């Protein structure tokens, strides 16, 4: 693995994933906060679903979760979506329902095996839909995995009724090349994240985010059926200052940054090794997001707001500093550990996250008080 592993767009696509499996630092065991945040936004999701045009029984109703990762959250959301759509059909007196399909999509490096193991068995389509829904631990839809970047086309034209994506669009397709270029004014020397960086660095990150979002919208506008809708959630910020990345800044720009500096000072890695690594995440403002949607013009904005999601840390004993520290380290490792492993190797990665845990333990009370995530929530409908 070379120092510039995160520069190449194709390399990042090949490597980036939430930590798979079912271990202590896996995404499956460190996504409880995302589940809580998603549950608090279900009323907004259902408002979006109420706008979706319902087709006839001969045409399958198709749902896609983009950036599905490998935990149970994506399955729960898809279940909510399909059950809500079924209720809409029934409220209109339509009991001859279409068949339902759900596509779970993420980068090829995603642990689809763990995800598929979590999927409940398919209910028997030979029985009534009411019996399907009443059956515990069964699903009423066909399921498939679709590997690939959501910044490109993934599905046939006019084939999807609902797109859902939560906690994914803040991940960029690549670290802006200028950020890792020593000759550039945007070179993010001494840092591994945008938080607190120079204006030229933050401008490069913002440009990359908006370029990526434009590609995302362009692709979805081709793939969506007329009358379709999209519900998007990504990390956001309340400040107009892009150097202030809110909760993402506290997650990646404080103890995580300091842990990298520890490894440099202890001679475990070189300064150059540290400086060649940056987290490809950007938490946009409402204006950052809105500019791209309006410039694209394919989607009408039904709702666009900043939503307070809460803390990413879920702990049983808030007064136990060691549990808080371990929770932060595991949360951080679950979402970026794969990239760190690829850049500095498993041994040094283990040392890095140990130091993240130690530093977070020492600041446990402050973390619980200040670490709050805000999300951009967007409900979009395809312009007819």
- The token duo for 134 is 């009443």
Give the architecture-level CATH label for domain 9-382.
3-Layer(aba) Sandwich (3.40)
How many other β-carbons are positioned within 10 Å of the β-carbon of residue 55?
Answer: 15
Give dist(CA 79, CA 87) in Å, integer.
Answer: 12
Break the chain down into helix, strand, coil percent, rounded to 5. 45, 15, 40
Q: Are strands 299-310 and 373-382 parallel, antiparallel or unpaired?
A: antiparallel
CB atoms within 10 A of CB 157: 11
Name residues of the chain where pLDDT drops below 70. Answer: 1-38, 124-137, 312-313
| Nearest residue to 103 (alpha-carbon basis) of 157, 159, 53 | 159
Q: Which tokens is 316 given?
A: 């049983």
Distance CA 2, CA 4 (A): 5
Give every CB contact of residue 39 below 8 A, 6+ residues apart in sequence.
none
For the chain, report the end-to-end CA distance as a whole number of angstroms: 47
Distance of CA 249 to the CA centre of its chain: 16
CA distance 11 to 112: 19
**Spatial contact of 162 and 381, defined as CB atoms under 8 Å apart:** no
- Where do the domains of the chain lie? 9-382
For the stretch 210-219, pLDDT in tens is 999 999 999 9
CA 315, chain centre distance (Å): 21
> What span, in angstroms and rounded, lies between the C-alpha atoms of 151 and 212?
6
| pLDDT reported for residue 77 | 92
Measure the CA–CA gap between 322 and 244, rounded to whole angstroms. Answer: 27
Q: Tokens 């970026």, residue? A: 336
Q: Give pLDDT tens digits for 158-172.
A: 999 999 999 889 999
Structure tokens that stand for 332 in this block: 């951080």
What's the pLDDT score for residue 380? Answer: 97
Phi, psi of 232 (to 5 degrees): -120, 140
Tokens of 255: 């103890």
**pLDDT value of residue 9:** 53
**What is the SS3 assignment for 52?**
coil
CA–CA separation, 162 and 118 (whole Å)? 22
């Amino acid at each position: 693995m070379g120092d510039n592993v995160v520069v190449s767009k194709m390399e990042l696509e090949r490597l980036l994933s939430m930590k798979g499996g079912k271990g202590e630092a896996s995404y499956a065991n460190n996504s409880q906060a995302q589940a809580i945040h998603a549950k608090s936004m279900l009323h907004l999701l259902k408002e979006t679903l109420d706008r979706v045009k319902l087709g006839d029984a001969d045409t399958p109703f198709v749902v896609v979760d983009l950036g599905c990762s490998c935990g149970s959250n994506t399955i729960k959301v898809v279940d909510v979506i399909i059950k809500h759509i079924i209720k809409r059909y029934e409220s209109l007196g339509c009991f001859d329902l279409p068949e339902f399909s759900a596509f779970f999509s993420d980068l090829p490096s995603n642990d689809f095996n763990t995800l598929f193991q979590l999927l409940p068995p398919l209910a028997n389509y030979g029985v009534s839909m009411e019996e399907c829904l009443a059956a515990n631990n069964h699903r009423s839809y066909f399921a498939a995995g679709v590997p690939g970047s959501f910044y490109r086309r993934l599905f046939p034209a006019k084939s999807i009724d609902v797109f859902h994506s939560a906690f994914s669009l803040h991940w960029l397709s690549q670290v802006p090349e200028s950020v890792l270029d020593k000759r550039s004014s945007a070179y993010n020397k001494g840092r591994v994240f945008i938080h607190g960086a120079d204006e030229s660095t933050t401008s490069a990150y913002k440009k990359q985010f908006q370029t990526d979002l434009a590609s995302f919208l362009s692709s979805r506008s081709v793939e969506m059926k007329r009358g379709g809708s999209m519900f998007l959630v990504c990390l956001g910020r309340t400040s107009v200052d892009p150097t202030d990345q809110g909760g993402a800044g506290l997650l990646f720009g404080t103890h995580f940054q300091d842990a990298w500096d520890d490894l440099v000072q202890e001679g475990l890695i070189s300064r150059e090794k540290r400086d060649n690594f940056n987290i490809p995440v950007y938490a946009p403002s409402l204006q950052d997001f809105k500019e791209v949607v309006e410039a694209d013009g394919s989607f009408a904005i039904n709702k666009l707001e900043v939503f307070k999601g809460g803390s990413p840390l879920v702990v049983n004993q808030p007064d136990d500093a060691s549990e808080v520290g371990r929770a932060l380290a595991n949360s951080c490792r679950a979402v970026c550990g794969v990239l760190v492993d690829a850049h500095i190797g498993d041994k040094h990665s283990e040392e890095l996250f140990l130091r993240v845990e130690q530093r977070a333990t020492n600041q446990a009370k402050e973390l619980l008080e200040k670490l709050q995530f805000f999300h951009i929530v967007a409900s979009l409908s395809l312009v007819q």
